[in-house]
Amino acid sequence: MTMAKIELSTGTIEYEDTGGDGPVVVLLHGLLMDSSLWDAVVAELRTDHRCLVPTLPLGAHTHPLPDGADYSLRGVARLVDELLERLDLTDVTLIGNDTGGAVVQLLAGEAAERVGRIVLISCEAFENFPPGLTGRTLVMTGKLSPTLFGMFMQQMRIKPVRRMPMAFGWLTKRGDAATVRWAQPVMRQAEIRRDAVRILRAIAAEPRLMVDAAERLSGFDRPALVVWAEKDRVMPPEHGRRLAELLPQGRLVEIEDTYTLIPLDQPVALAESIREFTK
């Protein structure tokens, strides 16, 4: 898979692109994560799909945002829309897990012209924003200075801390190695610590963001798949059912033996659901 960079209005974005002539899927990760969330899913899909996976400026990126950038999730959604336009991608299946699913909802509510289908995978929705104990704890750390936030994140070096419910313990059963990688940019780069704090503060400033986004989902009249962890502890399973009912062409798939980060815990089952949906 080719790693590329592109200069957008909000700065430099890295993305991976498998190329190919199959259906185009664009896969979005969550807060304090990067494109590697999708590695195992892409390995399954790349034989018959073109997979494009950006690393969004959500706290595990390596190219700092410029001063004056829009750090809100709406700003991230506009960035994704700009990326699709700059790469001249059409009829895209836009897929998001965790906070990436929130970004997909924001774009779907705006009826993005280049998006032909959406897939929402165990993500923030309705009043669950920030989501669960994990999300609330993380957003609270946005009140810290970047230096103190960095000191807080140093705890993620310790596996028992990473596996706590307020950290990544309720997000993934099997993906601990990935969570170690995701914490590195914040630990190593002062500019990324600054960005992360600003992102968290922007999230805290819009507590009704996903409630408002849900009100517009009924206007998305294209195919939509909702994939949820059957016993998710962070994203309530009933929210998956509600999203599928809200979307005019929505349908629900539930996956067993996984937490929120299904791309890490059950990548083969998830890839099968996506492939069936994009046929």
Q: Residue 1: its pLDDT value, please?
A: 67
According to the model, what pLDDT value does residue 245 have?
97
Write the DSSP assignment of 31-64 as a string of letters.
Answer: TT--GGGGHHHHHHHTTTSEEEEEE-SSSS-SSP
Domain ranges of the chain: 2-129+208-278
CA neighbor of 30 nearest in space, from 115, 94, 96 = 96
DSSP assignment letter at 66: P
Please tell me the distance from the alpha carbon of residue 223 to that of residue 93, in angstroms, as a whole number.
9
State how far the alpha carbon of 240 is from the alpha carbons of 81, 199, 264, in Å: 24, 25, 19
Characterize the bridge pairing of strands 2-8 and 11-17.
antiparallel
Nearest Cα residue to 231 out of 274, 174, 163, 170: 170
Note if the bond before 130 is cis, omega within 30 degrees. Answer: yes
- At 225 the pLDDT is 98
pLDDT digits (tens, 9 = 90+) for 77-116: 999 999 999 999 999 999 999 999 999 999 999 878 999 9
Distances (CA, A) of 168 to 32, 41, 182, 222, 239: 11, 20, 11, 33, 20
Q: What pLDDT is stored for residue 3 in this prediction?
A: 85
Tens-place pLDDT, residues 155-183: 999 999 999 988 899 999 999 999 999 99
The residue ranges of the chain whose pLDDT is under 50 are none
pLDDT at 83: 97
Report the CATH superfamily, name and number, of domain 2-129+208-278.
Alpha/Beta hydrolase fold, catalytic domain (3.40.50.1820)
The confidence score (pLDDT) of residue 270 equals 98
* Beta strand 115-121 pairing with 11-17: unpaired
